[in-house]
Amino acid sequence: MSLIRADHVSLAYGRQTVLSDVSLAIEPGEIVTLVGPNGSGKSSLVKVLTGQIRPDAGQVRRKPELRLGYVPQKLAIDQSLPMTVLRFLNLPRRRDPEAIRRAAAETGIEGLEQRQVADLSGGQMQRVLLARALLVSPELLILDEPTQGLDQPGEAAFYRHLERLRDSLGCAVFMVSHDLHVVMSASDRVICLNHHVCCEGTPKVVRDAPEYRALFGQGTQGALALYQHDHDHHHHDHEHDHQGHDHA
Amino acid sequence: MLDDFLVRAGLAGIGVAVAAGPLGSFVVWRRMAYFGDATAHAAILGVALALIFSVPVTAGTLIVALAMATGVSWLATRGHAMDATLGVLSHAALAAGLVAISFVPGVRVDLSAFLFGDILAVGKSDIAVIWGGAALVTALIAWRWSPLLTATLSEDLAVASGIDPRRERLVLTLALAVVVAVALKVVGALLIAAMLIVPAAAARSLSRVPEAMAFWAVAIGALAALGGLAMSYLGDTPAGPSIVVVAAGMFLLTTLVRRR
């Protein structure tokens, strides 16, 4: 049985069509990556799946009692709200301290428990949000552009981390990628969205699909770069910008 | 003991601090300062209508404040440019209330009591109303504390956890109307928003978790009420404004201590 499925979902803001007849299903344990240009409806689709937005047509069905871990795109906490990481992890429900220790170790945020959430860096915040999502022992993790703001090695490390999580927890992962051209190779399926589902399949199938090329052809000569497992050889192809470190 | 007007005033002030502290924290966290203003200003209109139709002032205030809070809350969800709209509503409610009060027949109404409060004149029944309202608001917020906090933090996260942010907003709207109705007698329509915001803002510097901020907001509000009463007694200053002045002084103090 699918963990979650959307059947013929359509959504419009006023006269602007955001989603048009979108159907998809996520099966237990699989990693699905959603790619699409800016404004293609990716975030809206996530919000429809998590129940934040009710679609105008079609329906979303969840497995009963689905344990859903949700990692939002960003979380801006007002400075006026005092909140330690530990208190945040216990919202809205108190969690078992042992479970919190495990999630903190799993996401590498040990030692941050007493820090104020508003003072965290982008990368730390991302890991705290992931830790919070893990506390529900999720069957499905939904992540909205989780690697935004990370550099390339950071992104690669995050993808490896997700893959390990999937293997150890057995949870399915549904992830929106902000980068059209870089998709984690461990994805079982890639769904390419431009208001409607224009193509889907394994990363290689999507890479070769004419619809994908038509949409994203300009960026890397149409290539869908995949993170392979030879990460040791990965350091050559990203640019370092040393300008920022110059002292006047 | 309750026969002493200063004791009654102190009890009334502490009651308002208890009701305003946790709610005021949410007002600060959610940046709803103008929301509090608009609702408090609407209280004057409630007073006018209550006097015209000969119903208890607290009931009239509660109903109009509730209508205003609901209206503003509904507008906020529409996502319009809220700043100007709230400003218009807030001042229009105040002005309309002042105009309406001039139509009240019979004895001349002591307007300044409603604008600035008349804490030294609270009677035993006023104290019962204030503490009843404070108990109601505290119970309401304590009951909804976790979902309220989650929805304040992020509506996205709240929905994903099965919380309906609209319901939590309604809780705050109700609580705000009750606080406005019970605080009117103590600090007056013009300074109710101050009792919400100033103690909570002062508590921010002392707190690392939300619960601590709500607690310190109550403590600071209560201290300010007693300090303001003392100032009023010794210096013959108006009591309501004196309370707010003391609270503002404590805000300055806690902020400076934190900066050090």
Residue B224 placed within a domain: no
Contacts of B204 in chain A (CB under 8 A): 80, 82
Nearest by CB: B210 against A47, A51, A82: A82
What integer pLDDT is reported at residue A147 of this predicted model? 79
pLDDT tens for each residue of A32-88: 999 888 888 998 999 999 888 899 999 999 998 889 999 988 788 888 999 999 999
Q: Give me the mean pLDDT over the B9-14 stretch.
A: 94
Closest CA to A35 of A27, A45, A26: A45
Residue B43 placed within a domain: yes
Q: What is the ipTM of this complex?
A: 0.84
Nearest-by-CA chain B residue for A77: B153
Residue B137 placed within a domain: yes
Q: What is the DSSP string of chain A?
A: --SEEEEEEEEEETTEEEEEEEEEEE-TT-EEEEE--TTSSHHHHHHHHHTSS--SEEEEEE-TT--EEEE-S-----TTS--BHHHHHTSSS---HHHHHHHHHHHT-TT-TTSBGGG--HHHHHHHHHHHHHTT--SEEEEESTTTT--HHHHHHHHHHHHHHHHHH--EEEEE-S-SSEEETT-SEEEEEESEEEEEESHHHHHH-HHHHHHHTTTTTT--EEE-S-GGG-GGGS----GGG---
Q: Give A238→chain B minimum CA distance, Å.
A: 34
Measured distance CA(A128)–CA(A87) in Å, rounded: 11
Report all structural domains of chain A as residue ranges with CATH numbers, in order of start.
4-67+139-245 (3.40.50.300), 77-137 (no CATH)
Residue B203 placed within a domain: no
pLDDT of A227 > 70? The answer is: no
Given CB atoms, is B88 within the 8 Å cutoff of chain A?
no
Tell me the one-letter amino acid at B103.
F
Best of B30, B161, B207 to disrupt the A interface by mutation (most A CBs within 10 Å)? B161
Contacts of B152 in chain A (CB under 8 A): 81
What integer pLDDT is reported at residue B260 of this predicted model? 58
Q: Give me the mean pLDDT over the B26-49 stretch.
A: 89
pLDDT tens for each residue of B140-187: 999 999 999 999 998 888 888 889 988 998 999 999 999 999 999 888
Burial of A188 (0-12, 13-18, 19+ CB in 10 A): middle
pLDDT of A240 > 50? The answer is: no
Higher pLDDT, B187 or B222: B222
Given CB atoms, is A116 within the 8 Å cutoff of chain B?
yes
**Do A50 and B159 form a contact (C-beta atoms < 8 A)?**
yes
What integer pLDDT is reported at residue B129 of this predicted model? 93
Given CB atoms, is B205 within the 8 Å cutoff of chain A?
no
pLDDT band of A226, cuts 50, 70, 90: low
Residue B229 placed within a domain: no
Burial of A148 (0-12, 13-18, 19+ CB in 10 A): middle
pLDDT band of A108, cuts 50, 70, 90: confident
pLDDT of B217 > 70? The answer is: yes
Q: Give me the mean pLDDT over the B91-110 stretch.
A: 83
Nearest-by-CA chain B residue for A49: B160
Cα dihedral B69, B74, B77, B82 sign? negative
What integer pLDDT is reported at residue A230 of this predicted model? 40
> Among A242-246, B23-27, B137-141, whose mean pLDDT is lowest?
A242-246
Across the interface, whether the CB atoms of A75 and B153 are under 8 A apart is answered yes
**Do B134 and B18 form a contact (C-beta atoms < 8 A)?**
yes
> CB-based contacts of B201: which residues, under 8 Å, 6+ apart?
A80, B28, B251
Q: Give A115→chain B minimum CA distance, Å.
A: 9
Q: What is the largest CA-CA distance in chain A?
A: 61
Given CB atoms, is B144 within the 8 Å cutoff of chain A?
no
What integer pLDDT is reported at residue B75 of this predicted model? 78
Given CB atoms, is A62 within the 8 Å cutoff of chain B?
no
Cα dihedral A230, A203, A30, A32 sign? positive
Q: Which domain holds residue B180?
A: 5-190
pLDDT band of A222, cuts 50, 70, 90: very low
Measured distance CA(B208)–CA(A88) in Å, rounded: 12
Measured distance CA(A132)–CA(A188) in Å, rounded: 25
Across the interface, whether the CB atoms of B204 and A80 are under 8 A apart is answered yes
> Among B3-17, B91-105, B121-135, whose mean pLDDT is lowest?
B91-105
Nearest by CB: A84 against B146, B163, B209: B209
Q: Give A236→chain B minimum CA distance, Å.
A: 38
**Do B132 and B115 form a contact (C-beta atoms < 8 A)?**
no
Nearest-by-CA chain B residue for A65: B162
Residue B252 placed within a domain: no
Given CB atoms, is A91 within the 8 Å cutoff of chain B?
yes
What integer pLDDT is reported at residue B25 of this predicted model? 96
What integer pLDDT is reported at residue A217 of this predicted model? 61
Across the interface, whether the CB atoms of A92 and B146 are under 8 A apart is answered yes
Q: Give B29→chain A minimum CA distance, Å.
A: 6
pLDDT tens for each residue of A157-208: 888 888 888 888 889 999 998 776 666 677 888 898 889 988 888 877 777 7
pLDDT band of A232, cuts 50, 70, 90: very low
Residue B198 placed within a domain: no
Lookup: tokens for A119:
């003072």
Lookup: tokens for B135:
């108990």
Average pLDDT, chain A: 81
φ/ψ of residue A170, rounded to 5: 70, 20
Q: Which residue has the tokens 């309202």?
A: B133
What integer pLDDT is reported at residue A181 of this predicted model? 65
* DSSP-assigned beta bridge partners for residue A5: A25, A61
How many domains in chain B? 1
pLDDT of A220 > 60? The answer is: no
Question: Helices B82-101 and B33-52, interaxial angle, to 10°?
Answer: 20
Contacts of B207 in chain A (CB under 8 A): 82
In this structure, what CATH number is given to the domain that contains residue B27?
Answer: 1.10.3470.10
Higher pLDDT, B233 or A238: B233
pLDDT of B80 > 70? The answer is: no
Q: What is the DSSP string of A115-151?
A: SBGGG--HHHHHHHHHHHHHTT--SEEEEESTTTT--
Nearest-by-CA chain A residue for B162: A51
Residue B130 placed within a domain: yes
Q: Is A111 left (phi over 0), alpha (psi -120 to 50) or beta?
A: left
Buried b (16+ CB within 10 A) or exposed e, B200-239: bbbbbbbbebbebbbbbbbbbbbbbbbbbbebbeeeeebb
Across the interface, whether the CB atoms of B210 and A81 are under 8 A apart is answered yes
Quickly count: other Cβ atoms within 10 Å of residue A226's Cβ.
16
Contacts of A77 in chain B (CB under 8 A): 153
pLDDT of A238 > 50? The answer is: no
pLDDT of B101 > 90? The answer is: no
Most confident of A29-33, A184-188, B124-128, B245-249: B245-249
Burial of B259 (0-12, 13-18, 19+ CB in 10 A): exposed
Lookup: tokens for A33:
């990556």
